[in-house]
Structure 1
Amino acid sequence: MNHIILGNPVTDWLIALLAAVAVAAGLDAVKSILVRRIRSRTAERASRPRGVLVAALSSTRLLVLAILGLYAGASLLTLPDKAQLFISRAAIAAILVQCAIWGDHGLRSWLASTRAQQADDPGRATSSAAIGFLLRVLLWAVVVLMILDNLGVDITTLVASLGIGGIAVALAMQSILGDLFASLSIVLDKPFVTGDFIIVDNAMGTVEHVGLKTTRVRSLGGEQIVFSNAALLKSRIHNLRRMEARRVVFGLEVSHETPEPTLRALPGLIEAIVAGQPQVRFDRAHFKGMAAPAFSYEVVYFVDTADYRVFMDVQQEIYLRIVAMLAEQGVRLALPAQTVHLARVPAAPQAAVPQPLPHLEKAAA
């Protein structure tokens, strides 16, 4: 037991080993106790912060605890300065990595709970996903820089070098970075979110996914349309899901044989039909024109819903009732027609036969 190893008796080495095991086991036991208690309280009363804390503590790595135990045991020994410096730096790096793991799992848990709570609001869920991704990238970037600084690396020069390299990369990847920033604009400004039905130029469909570079839309025909985010924001986007009401304008043409009293009564009859439909606000109905070949009416109303099926059902019912009303009033719808008048042309008189001159007849004889 009095044998010396690296300047320390064997007894001291055994004590240091026992201390390392005890510290690692103790830290693991504390972690398990905390997780069980917090989880039991979370089961009794749902709490989002507690759920995030449980997810973070559950991600504690045994290797990190072992490194901390070795650091505690090494503190009981007399070691060379270089060895002591290496162990201390390893312990600090392990703690930083574990903090990054805690933060990463905590953010993942927060993002999952956010998606569950905001299932009816895809816009906020999309924003949370993008913000969570950026926070995780920032967290790991900061931790890596702190570890390099702990290892003695001059991060000032490194950051400056990364800045110059970043400028070169940015110039070479302008289109990709443009799509990335366009994605952030879509997430933060929310011109549309997942589940919205949009029209972009001649394409239309339901938004399925908003990514870092592209946005994917499922068209009415079933195919998937992929837009680059930058090109999408440069286009005019019609978001039909956010439509609050539909303005409907339609025309009606009746025959010139319709008498004046019936023409005067038609706007009121049409108003009664339109206003009697559910979710409809009547605006106006007017005798618009009297050019050939019909008398024209214009009707305007609003359907207070964005549901296209409801709009078509209302429009169909209005048209059918107008047809029935016109039949009751004896009014015929005007049809395109042309009248051709045929005139008798008098026959042209026959031309007189010319008679030969007398002196020519004598000459011939």
Structure 2
Amino acid sequence: MDFPLLALHTARFPLLSYSIGEDTVGALLVAVGTFVVVYIALAVAWKYVLHRIHAYAKRTRLSIDDAIVGVLRGVGAPSYFVIALFVAVQPLVLSPVMHMGIKVALLVVIIAETIKIAERVTQFFLIKGMRLSGSGVSEEQRVSSVFSVFIKIVLWSLGLLLILSNLGFNVTSLMAGLGIGGLAISLALQNVLGDMFSSLSIAIDKPFKEGDFIIVGQEKGTVKHIGLKTTRIESLQGEEIVISNNELTTARVQNFKKMERRRSIFVFGVTYATPADKLKKIPGMIKDIILAQEKTAFDRAHWKEFGDFSLNFEIVYYVLSNEYNMYMDIQQAINVAILEAFQKEGIEIAFPTQTVYVEKS
């Protein structure tokens, strides 16, 4: 390509008219100068833009802009180099292969930086959702590290298709082939992928966490580890129960760790020989016994029914804790106190008895 300003200096500097390949020395020097100017301009302009964006991010309460600034800071010399090279070689007469290579490099740089921003934003919202549900740092790292791989695969697949499309390739047939291949892979890995995405659901939704006592179907125990594919539970007998995460997200899970208080109902009977005045005193006696225990809340005590061999009372109270051992200690203390109070009042606890009447003829 001819440069008007360069032609004025050709007579004074004959060296500029010498040809190297399809271009003159003067054209190559102009390209080098353009490269240097564009490179420096990009570096200075980008530094100024980053300074303005960073100043704006400090004035806001949003944390996502800080994450984006962190990604933008990663744009550096390689990006400047490729962009400046692309601009500088435009006037030169290069082989189609070289032009194509520089164009591909530019596309790769632009798409790579775009993917970095998209990946960072996606991870930001993923980790933010986990933090809102109370996830720990180790769990955030475990889940984000695994799912960042899937995010990169999806984004780079789209980026590759975009590059091929800009290079003139027909990506329609390629997309159809990838769709069929992806379908085959997803069918083969259906259970594994289902468990992994269920792990993400558990991490964000937090139906339970490590240390919780849960019941899933017929299985119950303490959650010891939540993995990417399975969750491990230690049963009351001590053995380890391994349950797939997909099963946990589709089953009904009872989480006793989240229980703030435990409702307890128990029934006892006294004999039919108990006088009516003492029957009237029993509800008040039970109330006093329950309220004497720590971390309890009395609900009700009633003479419920006439049983086959006893007068049955139903008692309801709450233990203000989710610890099962504490509940059993309180219930035991209540049982002992009831027995002592009944012995003092001369009230007999009923037990199964039968009275047989024999008629003499």
CA deviation after TM superposition for structure 1 residue 157, in Å: 0.4
Tell me how far 1:51 sits from its aligned partner. Answer: 1.0
Query: Contact between 1:8 and 1:78, CA under 8 Å: does it hold in 2?
Result: yes
Give the SS at the match of 1:60. coil
Map of 1:67 onto structure 2: 82
| Contact preservation (8 Å) 2:68, 2:120 | no
- Deviation, 1:159, is 1.2
The corresponding residue for 2:116 is: 101
Partner amino acid, structure 1, of 2:219: N
CA-to-aligned-CA distance 1:111-153 (integer Å, 9 cap, x gap)? 44555x526368xx89x95987765554333222212222333
The residue that corresponds to 1:194 in the other structure is 209
Q: Distance in 1 between matches of 2:101 and 2:33?
A: 21
Deviations 1:160-198 (A, max 9, x none): 11222233334433433443565576578x482434532
**1:14 & 1:218 partners in 2: Cα distance?**
74
Select which of 233, 236, 242 maps to 1:226: 242
Matched residue of 2:98: which SS? helix
Offset at residue 281 of structure 1 (A): 4.7
Report the CA distance shift for 1:164/1:121 in structure 2 as closer, same or farther (over 3 A).
closer
Paired residues of 2:223 and 2:233 also in contact (CA < 8 A): yes
Structure 2 matches for 1:306-317, cutoff 5 A?
Answer: 306=322, 308=324, 311-312=327-328, 314-316=330-332
Indicate yes or no: 2:101 matched with 1:86.
Answer: yes
Question: Quick one: percent identity of the two aligned structures?
Answer: 29
Distance change >3 Å, CA 220–CA 150, structure 1 → 2: farther
| Stretches of structure 2 lacking an aligned partner (at least 5 in a row) | 1-14, 356-361
Give the CA deviation at 1:60. Answer: 1.9
Q: Hey, what does 2:158 align to over in structure 1?
A: 142
2:303 equivalent among 286, 289, 303:
286
Give the number of aligned pairs: 333
Aligned match for 2:132, one of 118, 130, 141: 118
User: Are 1:247 and 1:301, in contact at CA under 8 Å, matched by a contact in 2?
Assistant: yes
Residue 189 of structure 2 is matched in structure 1 by: 173
Query: Cα distance 1:17–1:112, how it changes in 2: closer, same or farther (>3 A)?
Result: farther
Q: 2:30 is matched by which residue type in structure 1?
A: I
TM-score (norm 2): 0.72
Deviates more, 1:84-93 or 1:28-37: 28-37
Matched residue SS, 2:347? coil
On the 8 A contact 2:82/2:106 being kept in 1, the answer is: yes
How far apart are 1:238 and its partner, in Å?
A: 1.8
Maintained 8 Å contact 1:21/1:66 = no
Give 1:42 deviation, angstroms.
4.5
1:237 alignment partner, one of 253, 259, 264: 253
- Distance (Å, rounded) in 2 between the aligned partners of 1:120 and 1:318: 37
Say if 2:345 is the partner of 1:329: yes
Q: Does 1:50 align with 2:81?
A: no
* Structure-2 change in CA distance of 1:140 and 1:329 (3 Å): farther
What is the distance in 1 between the residues matched to 2:337 and 2:329?
12
- CA, structure 1 residues 209+276, in 2 after alignment: closer, same or farther (shift >3 Å)? same
Q: SS at the partner of 2:247?
A: helix
**Cα distance between partner residues in 1 of 2:161 and 2:296:** 61
The DSSP-based 3-state class of the residue aligned with 2:209 is coil
Aligned equivalents of 1:207, 1:156: Cα separation in 2: 48
Q: Are positions 1:154 and 2:170 aligned together?
A: yes
Distance in 1, matches of 2:133 and 2:203, equals 16
Q: Is the 8 A contact 2:269 2:312 kept in 1?
A: yes
Please name the residue that 1:348 is paired with: none
> Could you list the per-position Cα deviations for residues 55-103 of structure 1 after superposition, in whole angstroms to 9, with x for gaps in the alignment?
2202325323211121121124233445334322321232112211222
